[in-house]
Structure 1
Amino acid sequence: MTAADDLDTITERWTTLQERAGTRPTTTWPPAMGITRLLTEEERAAQAAERADTNPDAPGPRPAPVDVNVLDVMTTIETGLITAADWLASRVQRPAFKAPTGHGWSDDVHRAAVLLAAKDAADPRRWQYTGQRTAPDAAEWLALRLRDQPGPFRKLDEAERQAVAEVAAAGAELIRKTLGDARRREAVPHPCPPCGGQLVVEGGDGAPPVLLCEDCGRTWTEAPSDAA
């Protein structure tokens, strides 16, 4: 997959990310699986008390109406892309033409120059440093620059391509992880029951999660629930 493909992924999946951010989180990572059986009695009692607290008037923090974690991801991606677009435009985007001053509109040559300058400055292919700038806008503009599409720009050198590629890869990976397209691996804060080794859980890419011990190699998977 190329850097331009990574940018396309961001553009195409941004709406899905926005929809995910507007919903209450329904799952957690890593998945609980059978790990709760390894908890102490005090931890199990605390979890039971937390689940039982369903009264909206009860003291304590309430779940946010949006998924704050997804919003943080979106902010990170958008900031990175817009910063990259600002930086790249400052290097490769040609300044707009300047029309000479001091001539009236009766001067045909001057009038044509003013109109040409205004058209060049308003070229929609230009990256704008002000106004509404979104992650999809920046991703699309950066992808077009990587593909050497025509416009008031010079071609990117290899260092510029590499810098954009790094931002694109990081953003696309964050989206894949957030939307469950990328496999993840995370340590579990409970020892392996048979050997006391380090437990890790792998999953998050749509495949069933797996709990495994890095020391003895034992693995656990969730048993499929019986159909009603």
Structure 2
Amino acid sequence: MGMGIDIRNRLARRAAEEIQSGMVVNLGIGIPSLVPNHLPANINVMFHAENGITGMGPSPARGDEDENLCNAGGFPVTLKTGGSYCDSAVSFAMIRRGRVDITVLGSLQVSERGDLANWIVPGKKVPGMGGAMELAQKAKKVIVLMNHCDKAGNSKLLRECTMPLTARACVDLIITELAVFQVTNEGLVLTEIFAPYDVADIANKTECEFTISQKVRQIPY
């Protein structure tokens, strides 16, 4: 079952809460690309793309696209005042040097230790790993936005990932349509629950163990 646009925006809105003014933020393709739509106007952020942009603005209106200006996923973008371009070598140097404060990524699976598997479904063609390997290792905070279960109903939160890993023990925060988990040295901690779900719903759909925070935030519609 695919995700409705409202649920996708719900996840993006929660991820946007992690972003503060002055940050450099890298967004993956898919749900993460919706995050800028949910930032308050007073938050000033430089969005970074691996292909060499720092300071991406909102998506252009149809007809206003610049054919030479796109993000790492190939989608048209705009540039904010004060934004800049560089080649992808410099862009990756920014990532590897730890200059990216937050990366928001989609994922196929995440383990209870925060291992990330998000670059290939075995047997399917992909364009490559892209910047995910560097971002997962070097961004100061790694946030994953994903469906709680795959199309077959299997949990994407696992004791051990079964798909090839992008990076080990790198994820800090997991946001699904059911809940928000912090990844700690002791494993996953459930910190927030989206209405209308409860702990039993989440436990039913989570393959790995998790602990429950003493204070759990309920997120209304």
Higher strand proportion: 2
> Could you tell me the TM-score, scaled by structure 1's length?
0.24
> Could you tell me the TM-score, scaled by structure 2's length?
0.25
Higher helix proportion: 1
Identify the structure with bigger relative contact order (alpha carbons < 8 Å, sequence gap 6+). 1
